[in-house]
Structure formats: C-alpha cells, structure tokens
Structure 1
Amino acid sequence: MSEAGNWCLIESDPGVFTDLILKFGVEGVQVEEIWSLDEDAFTNLRPVHGLIFLFKWQSVDSKPDTSTVASNPPSSLFFAKQIINNACATQAVLSVLLNTTHEHLKLGSSLSEFKEFTLAFDPHLKGLALSNCDIIRNVHNSFARQTLFEFDQTNATKDDVFHFISYVPHAGRLYELDGLQDGPIDLGEIVEGQDWLGKVQPIIQQRMLKYNTGEIHFNLMALVSDRKMLLEQEISSLEKSSTESSVSEISRLRGCLADEEAKRARWKVENIRRQHNYLPLIVNMLQMLAEQGKLIPLYQTAKQTAINKAARQAKAKSKAT
C-alpha cells in the first residue's frame, strides 16, 4: 500500500462510525456495536444491512483460500482494493453502504455520484478513486484524534496492526469484502428466506478461533436502520389506535426513544472530546503548577505511587508461583 495520502487512524466506535456516515450525507442508518455472536444480540437491531469486523492482522490473513475469491462477481457489487494506509475503516463502511439497497438507506449525493462514477472501474481503479476523493478523505480525517506527541510507527510489528473488513449480503450471496485481498470473498449462497446473519456468525467465530486463547482484540459493529426513525414510525402508527395495549406499548417505545436520544447525545459529546486539542490546557496547567512550586512534589508522589504499585504486583506474583 502507498504511504501517500495522509489518512488518519479511526477509532472503532459506533458513535464515531455513525457520525462518519452522517458527514458523508447518508441518512436512515446508524452503527451499533455487537457484543456477542448469539442470535439474541441481533434481535432488536434488525434490519441489519452489513457487519464491520475489526481484528488484529496476522500473516495468515494475507493468504485466503484462493478458491473462495469470486472469479466473476456481479457488476453491482462494489469492491475496492485498499491503496492507502489507515483507510480501511472508511473503506469497510463504504463497502456496506455502497452495496446496500434498502428503503431506509438514503445514500446522499456525494456517495451516489462516487458510486456511479466508479461503476465500470476495476477494484484497483476503485481504490485509487477512493483514495483521491477529497470529500471522503476530508470526512475521514475529521475524526483524527488530537495527540500530544507523534509516535514513530516505522518499527511496529504485525502484532500492532489492526484491520477492518466487511460482511454483506448481495444478489443472493454472502461476501467478505477486504481491500487487502485480490477480490471479494464469496462465502456462499443465501437461500431465499434464509437469515444471512445465521450464515455469517459461524464464519466470524471460526476466524476468531485462529487466534491464541485469550485474544480479545476484536470488535464487531453492525450497520442497521436508524433506530430513532423506526421508533418514531412505530409510535406514530400506534397512536392511530386507541386500544389499551397500544397505549402501554407506546409508553414502552417512548422509553426506548428517550434511551436512543440519550445515547446519541453521549456520542456527540464523546466525538467532540475526541477531536478537541487539550494540549494548550495541559501546558498551562503544568506552568501554573510549576510557578506554585507544586509540580515537582506531585511528580515525586506519582513516581513513588507507581513504584509501590509495581512492588505489590511483583510480591503478589511471587506468592502465586
């Protein structure tokens, strides 16, 4: 992959991904985090349009069974090679958005024009077009976290590398879309009436089992229909009825709606904090503490606390052995 392009790393967080989608101009969908592969985890989130999976990259991931790479995928399936480092988060999101046709999803002018423009491109050209799209890159980089220092990652090992891929149902088949591969991975037919989530769950589980016992660096998110929109539609529909059961259900749904609005308010605050530059505040606080003669004593106290903690941990470890 090219080092050019200056794409930032993006945190794997549903609030970040939902805001990313909104800034692309997309309406009618949001992202939710999935904590379990059990059926119950998806029950209240349907319809689910696609899954975004984050995992620790290892060398085995670069060598899939070539027989599973779709030799002649449908022309309607959007698949782009990843050309730029750090772009896999946005690429995974786009892989779901640009392959979803659902009444709830309104793609917006920017992505609709991009999809139409790249329709006849091969995967490599699609990747180049994506990496050179100012709108997509600027939205992506708007989620750069403010840091106090720049870290040299030139010596980072493969154990430090994380990667996003997507799983989407499309044209009656299930696909894994990974920009580092030669093409979309065909995971088989989705029989009419079959729940595609039931087909993808064991595939993700099997992938996780490739790692050592105790490995927890995974994250799974789902692109789902806008929960607030669905709740408001359901409440509006029930309000046309005057039965006792509908009144009770409306009350429950209003509680769910309040929870959803509170979650979005929390996401908004968290995203503002992620993008805020705290460096001037920290520098001023350090200067004030130094002027008051409190900086060095605080440092010494913190240092001693760290030493004591390390000693307690070492003692506890020696007793355990």
Structure 2
Amino acid sequence: MAEAGNWCLIESDPGVFTELISGMGVRGVQVEEIWSLDESTMEQLKPILGLIFLFKWQGASGSEPNVSSTGEPEGSTDHIFFANQVIQNACATQAILSILLNRDDLDLGQELRNFKEFTGDFPPDMKGLAISNSDLIRSVHNSFARSDPFVNEIQDPRASKDEDLFHFIAYLPIHGALYELDGLSRGPVNLGACTDDNWVTKANEAIMRRMEKYGASELHFSLMALTKDRIELYQEQMEEVDGMLLSLPDDATEERRRLDEDRNLLAHKLQLEKEKRARWHRENQLRKHNFVPMIYELLKKLAERKELDPLITTAKEKATTRATEKAKKKAENQ
C-alpha cells in the first residue's frame, strides 16, 4: 500500500468519528454506535444516512463488484464515488468518506466539496491516491494520533500476519440500490434494489450474513450509523412544536398539554445530547494527551520510596494466576 506520509491508527468510536467528520468541514451529521439491529433501535436513530461496519478481516470475501442480488451484472457505476484503499491505517476514514461523498444531501464544506468534484472522473485507484495525498483528510485523520507509545487493537488489513486484522466498510443507498463499499474490493457491490424505508433492513441482513460466516465465539464486530446531528434535529423539532403552540386557540387545553409534554421531552433529549457531545470532546482530548511524562514521574517517585518493587512483584503474581486460570478454562472447554 502507498504511504503518502504516515497515517495513524484511530479508535473505533462514535465520538472520534463525529469530530473527525466535523474537522473535515462537514456540518449537520454525527456518528452513533448501534448496539442492536432491532427495529426500535433503528427507529430511534432515524434518519440514518449510512452504516459503518467493523469486522475481523479474513482476506478477500469473494464478492464481485457491481453485481446485483440476482447475480446479474449491473450497469455503469460512474455515479458512485468509490476509492480503492491504498493507505495503511486509513480504512475507518475511507469508510466514512464512502458515505459522505455519495450523499447529495449533506453540507460537505468547501474543501471536501472541491475534492469530490476534482476526483469525480478518476478511476478507483486514483481516487485512493487522491485521498492519500489530501492534506485536509490526512491532517484531520492524524489529529487523533495517540501521543504515547500505546496503540489500540484495531489493525489495518495486511498490516501484520501475526495479529488479528480489522477492517471498516460502508453501506448506503445510492440511486435506489443498496451498495457495499469496501476499499479492498475491486469496486462497489450492488446488494439489490431498495427504498428509503427499507434500505437499513436490507443492510442489516447483509451484515448478519457476514457475521454468520464467523464462529459463535467471534464477538469482535462494531456497527455505527451516520445520522443527522441530533442537537440540530431536536432544536428543529422544538421549533416546530413552538410554532404549533403559538397557533393553538385559547380553548385547546388538551392539545396544549400534549404539546407541552412533547416539548419537555425534546428539551430533555437535547440536554442529554449536549452533555454527550461535551463528554465526547473531553474523551478526545484525553486520547490525544501524552500521559507518559506523568507516568514516568509517578514510577520514579514510587521507586524512590521503595514501593515500586513490591507492586511489580504483585502484578507478576496476578498475571501468572490469570494465565493459569485461562489455560485451565481452555483445557476444560476442549
């Protein structure tokens, strides 16, 4: 894979992805983690603009690009922004871009909009190279680099043969069809016709089929949704309720009571969302902070007070006990 400068590993986290998207100049959207595929969960997240799926990579899936659910070749995919992944560690950002650059209803911001127009006629490999050479995309991605020597467990496909490899792909509707966009595939995979109402259900079915290919013990999956900014959404809904309240006649007591309850609920949701966004921002600041000097000073003080060696001995004993228990459980399960 091409380097085009170093690209750091970033954590699979909705707060990270939301601030990454904002950093690229996109407005009006956020990312939410999905814990269940049931209808009620999906209903709460509407409108869903695209899905980002993380899974353990097992090599090429064998999916043929540009093939419908019936197995018949489809027509041109020139209307789809699809880029081959040519950069290590960039699959999360590339999956996000696969959604952002294929939606016509988003405020991309000037720079990303110019990038989309400039690369519109490029083939997939050249689009991938253009991403790798984008100062905006690379700098925002790398702004989430940890400034300490500890790295998270998410590894880019093909990065190492000795570790589990994880990969991000995107699902979204484009011109009446559901597409799977995977930068390690040769092209977009058409999963069949869909509507605005059923595309999420069809995408969930495709995701479940992928998950079923793994053993029952495999739990390393993550699913996130790109949604409309919940703060903006709740504010818009509150304005609608306020307008309805102003238009009510004085004797519409019951209707006014119901609308007041709706507004109070929206105000509560808005406050929770603002608190969550503040928490995400704080967590992102901590992710970027270098704690190594503080840890060094702490260990130094413990050593000076002759308290470090006993702690090391205790830690070794606990590690040995855990390893013994793990080996025992493994032997019992065989």
TM-score after normalising by structure 2: 0.87
**1:305 Cα deviation (Å)?**
3.4
**Is 1:199–2:202 an aligned residue pair?**
yes
CA distance in 2, matches of 1:85, 1:161: 12
Aligned to 1:160: 164
Partner of 2:20: 20
Alignment-derived partner of residue 240 in structure 1: 243
What one-letter code is carried by the residue in structure 1 that aligns with 2:284? Answer: N
SS across alignment from 1:50:
strand
Q: Against the structure 1 CA distance between its residues 318 and 108, is the aligned structure 2 distance closer, same or farther, given a 3 Å change threshold?
A: closer
Q: SS of the counterpart of 1:261? A: helix
Give CA deviations for 1:72-130 in whole Å, capped at 9, x if unaligned: 4343311011111111111100000011122xx31101110100110111111111111
Alignment RMSD, CA only?
2.4
**Residue ranges of structure 1 left out of the alignment (5+ in a row):** none
Aligned residue number for residue 271 of structure 1: 284
The CA deviation at 1:298 is: 1.8
SS, match of residue 239 in structure 1 = helix
1:21-170 correspondence runs (5 A): 21-61=21-61, 63-65=62-64, 68=67, 72-102=75-105, 105-148=106-149, 156-157=160-161, 160-170=164-174
Q: What residue is the counterpart of 2:295 in the other structure?
A: 282
Q: Is the 8 A contact 1:57 1:159 kept in 2?
A: no
Q: Distance in 2 between matches of 1:43 and 1:313?
A: 41
1:297 aligns with 2:296: no
- Call closer, same or farther: CA 1:239–1:58 in 2, change over 3 Å: same
Figure out how many residues of one structure are paired with residues of the other and give that number.
316
Instruction: Find the aligned partners of 2:210 and 2:331 in 1 and give their Cα distance.
Output: 36
Assess if the C-alpha contact under 8 Å between 1:20 and 1:140 holds in 2: yes
Counterpart of 1:225 in structure 2: which amino acid?
Answer: K
Deviation at 1:219, TM superposition (A): 0.5
Quick check: 1:57–1:158 contact (8 Å CA) kept in 2?
Answer: no
2:172 is aligned with what amino acid?
Answer: V
Q: Secondary structure at the match of 2:45?
A: coil
Q: Which shifted more, 296-305 or 153-162?
A: 153-162
SS in 1 for 2:244: coil
Specify which of 165, 173, 177 is matched with residue 173 of structure 1: 177
**CA deviation profile, 1:137-174 (whole Å, cap 9, x unmatched):** 010011112333689x9983275111111011011111
**2:227 alignment partner, one of 214, 224, 240:** 224
Q: Could you give the per-residue CA deviations for residues 185-224 of structure 1, whole angstroms, max 9, x where no partner exists?
A: 1111125x64211221111100110111121111110100
Give the Cα–Cα distance (whole angstroms) in 1 for the partners of residues 327 and 185 of structure 2. Answer: 45
> Relative to structure 1, is the Cα distance of residues 212 and 314 closer, same or farther in structure 2, using a 3 angstrom cutoff?
closer
Alpha carbons 2:53, 2:170 under 8 Å: kept? yes
The SS at the match of 1:174 is strand
Unmatched tracts of structure 2, length 5 or more = 246-255
Q: Distance in 1 between matches of 2:149 and 2:270?
A: 38
Deviation at residue 240 of structure 1 after TM alignment: 2.6
Shift of residue 316 of structure 1? 7.2
CA distance in 2, matches of 1:106, 1:66: 29
Return the alpha-carbon distance in structure 2 between the equivalents of residues 20 and 235 of structure 1. Answer: 28
SS in 1 for 2:49: strand
CA contact (8 A) 1:49 1:222 kept: yes
TM-score by length of 1: 0.91
Partner SS state of residue 44, structure 1: helix
| 1:228-267 alpha-carbon deviations (Å, 9 max, x no partner) | 1010111122123331111111111111111111111111
Structure 1 residue 183 corresponds to structure 2 residue 196: no
Contact 2:88-2:159 within 8 A present in 1 as well = no
